[in-house]
Structures are given as structure tokens and as C-alpha cells.
Amino acid sequence: MSSWRASLDRASRRLLLREPFYGHLVVGVNKASAELDCLVRLRPSSRQVSFEVNPQRWEAASDDQRVAALRHELVHLVLKHPIRARDRERLDVWGMACDLVVNQLVDTEHLQHPLTVESFPTFPRGASADEYYALLLPLYERHCQGGQSDGSDAMKRWCENAGGSNGAHGLWKDFTALSSGVLSVLETNIDELLLATARRCRRRGWGPLPSELVAVLDALGQPPELPWRRLLRLFIAQSGRTQIKNTLSRPSKRYGTVPGTKVRRRHRLTVAVDTSGSVTDEELQTFFGEIYAVWRRGATVQVVEADAAVARHYEYRGVTPHAVGGRGGTSFDPAIRWSNANVADGLVYFTDGFAPAPTIESRCPILWVVTRGGTTDGLPGRTVRLTQ
């Protein structure tokens, strides 16, 4: 066995003993050596994700640095940051945003050149990678133009640091180059790997996992209660957007036309989440488990968190937020008003129903998803009830 593989096995055993989930996950990921400008990084490989290791850098690193690098990349994998890079105009800035998230969830003491949220005094803690990306973009553009701003020193170090985690994100462009079909298969395989790993070591043996990662694993292990494929078909079958694409059929010899076409229906949904104080944390977790199922069915989901007012809104990308806004009183009107102002094919409203009936009419079809102990009184439109 090569020396780098032997030391990689030692690092894996150390994780197995101290942080079992990470250790089991490392075992399930393929490893290969490569000439890299970093210690270790993720790359797509035969419908799965693999680790690529720089043998020279790996041998020169300490045991603590090796374990820290593995843990850092594993958290990227759990949060599917490389998969989510597909829609980003600036992959390097997306990598920075993802590091700001990950480095709040791991010990950064032994990471090489870690980028932390403390480097940006105006940035909030606990934000999502999407929120950090939006905050970083103007700073990056200002830095490229030679301007100064809060966090400019950290931005400069990041842009000039070829040997740090910036290099570890270099192959994320390989994820973005995959076709939609291959990327979907890869994401499914990642989900299966994460779920199998979580079941293998069981929840009591997950080790000191951050709550954000526990929420991701809980959502994977909780099958959706509602048949969302059928509900979406019935709910907005007449209003979904359509996309025309060519098939593999041969051109017509008689007419010389292009190959056959296929109509693919796409749905853009606004999903309102009742974040009032009457909704429990367990019910919120169930809501986001169902939202994950809707998203996996191919719908574009814009989440609106609202109690008596809209607390925040964002495009859902498969990750459950570790906290929600609101937790006050309840009014359905603000979320419906927001939905009316933003074009969508339908509105799905997760709630316990304990609020006055809405006074605003939704301009698109509305589906109310009500908790087991909630009420449907006064709710206009179609309603379904969660039973668990």
C-alpha cells in the first residue's frame, strides 16, 4: 500500500473513533491520487463523488491537518455544495460562500488558510451559502476594480491563495459541466450514500454533528407523507410552464424537418411556510421534509417564511434552514400578497390553520397543507392534511 493511502486510512480510522458519521462517510467515497494545488478535493467520478488527494502535500501535512481537510470536504458533500454550483456565474465566489458556511460548522484550527465569517465584519453568522454568495459578489467586483471595503483583505488573500481551499473548489466546474440527467443521477447517488451512512452508524453513533447537518440527514431519512407527484399533476396541470426539447428521433426524410420534439412540463411554485409561534419545531421540520420532496420532483420552489408578515423569502435548493424568521402571530394575507406580486404556477401554504381566513384572493391555484392537529376552517381552495 502506498504511503499516502496508509496515512489516509489512519485519518479515516481517527474519524471513525471520534466522529463516526464522517468516518463511515469517508469509507464510502472512492479515493485517487492526482496532481493538485491543494491537499484534497471532491470531483465527480462514474456517477459518484470521489476524493482526489495530492500525495506530496498529503505526506507533508500533519495528522490534524489531514483530518481537518477531510472533514471540511465531507461537509461540502453533505450540503451538496458542488452540485449546487451549477447555476452560479462565479464559481470562485460560490466556493467562498460555501466555505463561510462550512467553516462555521467545523473546527478551523488545522485548516490551511481558512476563510471565516469573522473576516467580513458586516456579514451575519448562520446565513446560507446563497445569502453569502449575494453578499460576496459586490465585494468581489469591487476588489477586481481595485476598491477597498470591509473584508477586502480576506478577499485578496483568497484570490491570491492558490494552495488553500480555493484550489479545492477548482474541480467544481466538472460538476457544472455535467448534463442535467447525469447530475440528477449523481445527486440521487449522493443521497443514497448519505442515507446509508446515517443508517449504518445509527443516530446515536453520529457523533458531534452540527444541528444543520442533522437536519439534512433527518430530511433524507423521512419519506414524504404526501404523494407530491400526483398532487402537483392534479394541482397545476393546466398552468405549468412547458419546455420543448429535441428527441433522438431521426429527421423526417420526406419533409427534412428536425428530429422529433418532446414537451416537458415545468412547475414554478411559491411555497409559504407558516412560521408563527403556534407551529412547533417538529412541524416545521415536517414542512421542510415535504418541501424537499416537492423540489425533488423537479419543481422550482420559492420559499416564503411568514407569520403576521413576510420574514424572508429565498429559492429553495434542497437544504433545510437551521432557523426560520417569524415566530409571532399569524396572518395569511402577507404571503398571498407576496405570491400575487411574483409570478408562479401555484401557491402551496404549509400551516396549522389557526388564523383568520385570508382577505386576499390568490391569483394562482392555492393548496393548503395543514398539520395533523390544525384546522381547515375558512381556508379557500384545495386542502390536504398531514396525518403524522
The answer to whether 70 and 178 have CB atoms below 8 angstroms apart is no
Which neighbouring-strand residues pair with 348?
271, 367
* Greater model confidence, 68 or 249: 68
HSE of 311 in the Cβ direction (CA atoms, 13 Å)? 19
For residue 46, pLDDT over 80 is answered with no
Please count the CA atoms within 13 angstroms of the CA of 362 that sit on its side-chain side.
Answer: 28
**pLDDT beyond 80 at 156:** no
User: For residues 143 and 138, what is the distance between their CA atoms, to the nearest angstrom?
Assistant: 9
- Mean pLDDT, residues 161-177: 67
Inter-residue contact 8 to 136 (CB < 8 Å): no
Q: What pLDDT, on a 0 to 100 scale, did the predictor assign at position 262?
A: 47
High-pLDDT (> 70) share of the chain, %: 81
Which residues, listed in sequence order, are joined to residue 304 by a DSSP beta bridge?
Answer: 272, 313
Query: CA-CA distance, 51 to 44, in Å (whole number)?
Result: 9
Q: Residues 349, 354, 360, 365: is their CA dihedral positive or negative? A: positive
Predicted TM-score of the model (pTM): 0.66
Q: Is the pLDDT confidence value at 170 over 90?
A: no
Q: Is the pLDDT of residue 252 over 70?
A: no
Q: CA nearest 274: which of 311, 302, 232? A: 311
Q: At what angle do helices 20-27 and 63-78 cross, to 10 degrees?
A: 80
* CA distances (Å), origin 314, targets 134, 226, 324, 343: 12, 23, 12, 14
Query: All domains of the chain, ordered by start, with CATH?
Result: 3-220 (no CATH), 264-385 (3.40.50.410)
Helix ranges (DSSP H) in 32-149: 55-60, 63-78, 91-102, 129-144
Residues 6+ apart with CB under 8 A from 78: 25, 194, 213, 216, 217
Average pLDDT over every residue of 125-147:
83
Q: What is the pLDDT of residue 204?
A: 64
For 268-322, the pLDDT digits (tens) are 889 999 999 999 988 998 888 888 888 877 778 999 999 999 999 998 888 788 7
Question: What cell numbers appear for 109 in the block?
Answer: 484550527
Confidence of residue 164 (pLDDT cuts 50, 70, 90): very low
Q: How far apart are alpha carbons 205 and 201 in whole angstroms?
A: 5
Average pLDDT, the chain: 82
Give the rounded percent of residues in the chain with a pLDDT score beyond 90. Answer: 28
pLDDT band at 257 (very low <50, low <70, confident <90, very high): low
Only one residue has cell 471532491, namely: 42
